[in-house]
Amino acid sequence: MLTTLLKRAHYDCLGFATARNALAFMSEHEVDLIIADVFMPEMDGFELLRVIHRGFPMMPVITLSGGGSRLSGDFFLDCTERLGAVAALKKPLDVFTLMTLLDRWAPLSDEFDAKNEKTSAARAAIGDVPSDDSTQEKEDA
């Protein structure tokens, strides 16, 4: 759902079922921004932030959380910002807030840029996001 929203807004993005799959992609492709859920299978958002900042220290990361435990989701989001996330958003997402952050941190897709004379590069959205068909093919490969 998040990848669909971002593609409709003219961002190049990919969704990954796990942080490890996203990190493998990042090791071979240029990425401008990471959007990650705090609670994911295999590697949570806290560990992901640590790995990203060690290997990609200038990489902006936006974290998402709906809570998921007895503690408030705000607590976990505050923790991710203290660990280096450029922003932390509570689910359900406020689309306007997300788009405002993307305007600041991620260029639009090449296709949109060609029409509007803007610059761009590849982006990745990761975490606990439903996959579209193209993402599933990449994950199955």
Let me know: does 64 contact 36? Beta carbons within 8 Å: yes
Q: Which residues of the chain have pLDDT under 50?
A: 115-124, 128-141
Within 8 A by CB and 6+ apart from 52, the residues are 23, 26, 34, 59, 61
**Is residue 28, in this structure, part of any structural domain at all?**
yes
| CATH number of the domain enclosing 30 | 3.40.50.2300
- The pLDDT, as a whole number, for residue 10 is 86
Is there a domain that residue 139 lies in? Answer: no
Number of domain units in the chain: 1
- The amino acid at 56: F
According to the model, what pLDDT value does residue 71 have?
Answer: 55
65 located within any domain:
yes
pTM for the whole structure? 0.75
Is 140 inside a domain boundary? no
In this predicted structure, what is the pLDDT of residue 48?
95
pLDDT at 40: 86
Provide the pLDDT for residue 130: 40
Residue 137 lies in a domain: no
Q: Give residue 134's pLDDT.
A: 42
Let me know if residue 79 belongs to a domain: yes
Q: Is 134 contained in some domain?
A: no
Confirm whether 135 is domain-assigned: no
Which domain does 18 fall in, by range? 2-128
Q: What angle do CA 102, 76, 139 make, to 5 degrees?
A: 60
